[in-house]
Structure 1
Amino acid sequence: MDDHAQHDHSDWEEVVFAARERAHTRQALMVERYGLSGDDVQYHWSMDDARITWSRGGAVFLTGRLTMIGTVSLARQTWLWSWANDALPPAVLGDIERVRRFGEANDYPVLPWPGFDHHPELVAEARMVAASVLDADGLWADSTDDVQLHFLVHDLAPVPEPR
């Protein structure tokens, strides 16, 4: 992308507003529909197979597919898109390239930049637009040491209780 391309900031704000509304609605629905709140809910995710599971009392009750959006290095205070991170397993990348291409096609600079300085609001905007472009069911984040990991959740499937 040409860094000097004409960027229509008001258009970006409209896209972000619509994506934020959609993400908040879907996130609340995901948490409510599947009972993902509460101290008794545990989760486990794997980048190798791009899966997340939720359990209660040791029994898995929900599974989903993950797409890594990107990471925040707390030490360096930087964001790195997953599509620009060669260290990630291919499975967890999903269709994240579509987000980069969407940014290029619409002259939204943040989406095709491999990384940028960490500004919490800008990271939130990027995450929500990614969720909208990839039609995610929800967003998920976790932290390990000095890195925040940001994911999209897709294809949620309840696991029937054993008989």
Structure 2
Amino acid sequence: MNDDEFQEFIDSCFEELEEKQERLISEFGFGSFDKFQHDFEKEEIYLLKDGQVRVKAKLIPIGSFNTKSSTWMWGWANEAFPAPLRKKAEKLKQLEALTGFEMFGNEVAEIDPDMAWEIAGMALNLLGSEGAYRGPAGSTQYFYALEQVDNVYS
């Protein structure tokens, strides 16, 4: 892709991301949760409100953005995730061949906060996922692609 084609791809993927996120907001209440938990062995994420799990979903780690160093680490490169999740995230390496940009094949890249969401959009497009969740952990923001999003009634 040349620079113009790449920008068109980013814009299209970001528009798709916004539509998916709007659905998660309207159908599942995204943006209203107090905290999140995950079970990497089950490959699931849980969104809680008032101490109760309200939504659960299958997850694939897209990557993490460190706000202090402005660096992105791909989920497939992050050993904080178990091997089966890193293996699922390896599909994101296809973005390098698709776009022709090396940053999609490097384990770490310097980016800005807006680019983190643009990467999430491209990842959702490639994975065909339902939406994304950004989980804060100190100065690091973890981005997950979500599948099988469902309400949990207790």
Q: TM-score, normalised by structure 2?
A: 0.84
Unaligned runs of 5+ in 2: none
Aligned pair count reads 154
Aligned position for 2:141: 148
CA–CA distance in 1 between the matches of 2:31 and 2:99? 37
Find the residue that maps to 1:38 and give its secondary structure.
coil
CA–CA distance in 2 between the matches of 1:75 and 1:50? 28
Q: Is the 8 A contact 2:95 2:104 kept in 1?
A: yes
State yes or no: 1:27 paired with 2:21: yes
Q: Is the 8 A contact 2:78 2:86 kept in 1?
A: no
4+ residue runs over 6 A deviation: none
Change (3 A) 1:43 1:13: same
State yes or no: 1:86 paired with 2:89: no
CA–CA distance in 1 between the matches of 2:17 and 2:60? 15
Per-residue CA distance 1:97-150 (angstroms, 9 max, x = gap): 222123224413332222111322322221210111111111111222332211
Change (3 A) 1:146 1:60: closer
Aligned position for 2:47: 54
Larger helix proportion of the pair: 2
Instruction: Pick from 90, 106, 118 the counterpart of residue 113 of structure 1.
Output: 106
Q: TM-score, normalised by structure 1?
A: 0.80
1:42 to partner: Cα distance: 4.6
Provide the identity percentage: 17
Find the residue that maps to 2:128 and give its secondary structure.
coil
1:59 to partner: Cα distance: 4.2
Counterpart residue identity of residue 34, structure 1: F
